[in-house]
Amino acid sequence: MKKDRMREEEEEPLSPMARVFQSRGIDYCAVTMIGFKTKIKPDVILDALKHNVYKHPRFSTKLSSDGAKWIETKVNVEDHVVVPYIDPEEIGEDGESFIDDYTSRLTMNPMDRSRPLWDIHILNVKTSDAEAVGVVRTHHTLGDGTSMVSLLLACTHKTSDANTVSTIIPSLKRRERYKNKGWFLRSMFTVGSTMRLVWNTIVDVLLLVATMLSLKDTKTHLKGGVDVGCNPKRFYHRTISLDDIILIKNTLNMTINDVLVGITQASLSSYLNRLYENKNEEDGALIPYPNNLPGGIRFRAGCTVNLRSETGFKPLTDMMARDSICRWGNYFSFIVLPFSIGLQTDPLVYLKLSKSMMDRKKHSYHAHLAYWMIKICQKLLGAKLAAELFKRTVTNTTTCLSNVVGPMEEISFHGNPITYISPSGYGHSQALLIHFMSYSGRMTISLAVDPNIIPDPRKICDEMEHSLKAMKAALWENGLL
């Protein structure tokens, strides 16, 4: 009996989203590629892990047989660190291709559930933007992007000051609207705002239920299917100017998320237009039209939403505390964004459309209700049905967006300066995943694609880079800068 009591104390139940991510048919993993300015010393990594891995319970626990609880276990660090043999002569100057092929093969290699669900791959291969690349693979049950960035900060230090831990991301409280207005105006705003909130929430929930059941996006060159989650994925990243994004944000009184959604809508519209143009030429069209997109395209993106009451980051020790308001785990939900796919002569129109859409979504309990629907469904109908409803939502939409705030200054890991951080994932039933992460004055765009459906993802990155430049140029032409 004493032994059973000790076992119960060592076990901890999974959160609702974590239960979904490890369900049968849904096996979501996160892959974070970290570029370093110097070669990585495996011995340094192993030594650091041996001294610190037991400080974090998620990295020293495994899933129970039914996937409902975490169980403490012994960790053999050597089993989690992979240093493959690399022949420099065989790779030559094509380090990017080696990294692409290696990470793609990794997506077809399932994680061993008999031990903690993480591993680190050290690739001392020179690429165009790094001397070496570290690939960190974790199962999504371990935590969301906010959690993983807090862990990264706890393991690194500022490059400019090796004695200073990387706690350089501000913690922001959600803004209160109409705080300084008079009581009458506040009352009027409250009534009108509440009515809009209720209406937006009802509409969003009805559309979410319809999507869970049968409402599908239009079949385009970017749309995946049910079997896409089992296919190998390939990862690509591109770094663009964060200063340009902030400039547009401040000029048009938007948020960074508004700008990123606008850039994404513009770039995917242009990308699809080029593909439909090629199709029209193959079909023998005699007159090339600038706009080759068919009308009435239903194109939606799932967008992750942090449910924590504070939108910044806390030290890892604070996040691990039981009563923390910014706690570790998968405390996020999603909203479904209806993209406007079409060519616009003025690139600023995409920004206006994204701001309008995002403002409306912020004035809705869509994300919170989606989370509670999954939680209630798990309790009443079982984890299997809850996972199936979540999977249908993902399958019936086209893509997924995520934006994570990263360190504002350059950081280093045991003396190795980090040049970029590129988070992504695989296991989703979508052919395209788009992740954004800011780091040291730059914004990294990370794509995860099914190469059978999207063979040329670099062109999507090209379109995103071009869209940002076109929006900045449009601000100059309109005299707004």
Q: How many CB atoms lie within 10 A of CB 358?
A: 21
CA distance 40 to 297: 47
Partnered with residue 137 across adjacent β-strands are 31, 119
CA distance 463 to 279: 19
CA distance 67 to 65: 6
Active site residue 140: yes
Q: Which amino acid is at 149?
A: V
CA dist 433 to 125, 389, 454, Å? Answer: 25, 19, 11
CA distance 394 to 430: 7
Partnered with residue 161 across adjacent β-strands are 158
CA distance 125 to 385: 44
CA distance 442 to 244: 9
Q: For 162, what's the count of Cα atoms within 13 Å in the CB-facing half-sphere?
A: 5
**Which of the following is catalytic: 121, 140, 157, 435?**
140
Asked whether the beta carbons of 377 and 23 are under 8 A apart, the reply is no
Order of strands across the sheet that contains 61-63: 12-13, 69-72, 61-63
In terms of DSSP bridges, do strands 157-158 and 132-139 run parallel, antiparallel, or are they unpaired?
Answer: unpaired
Range 204-208, long-range pairs (CB < 8 A, 24+ positions): 204/335, 204/336, 204/361, 204/364, 204/365, 204/366, 204/369, 205/366, 205/369, 207/336, 208/336, 208/366, 208/369, 208/370, 208/373, 208/393
C-alpha dihedral (430, 432, 433, 434), degrees to nearest 10: -150
In terms of DSSP bridges, do strands 399-404 and 332-338 run parallel, antiparallel, or are they unpaired?
Answer: unpaired
C-alpha dihedral (191, 192, 198, 199), degrees to nearest 10: 150
For 55-122, the DSSP string reads GSGGGGEEE-TTSSEEEE----GGGTEE-----HHHHTT-HHHHHHHHHHHHTTS---TTS-SEEEEE
Main-chain dihedrals φ then ψ at residue 296, nearest 5 degrees? 70, 30
Q: How many CB atoms lie within 10 A of CB 371?
A: 21
Q: Cite the active site residues.
A: 140
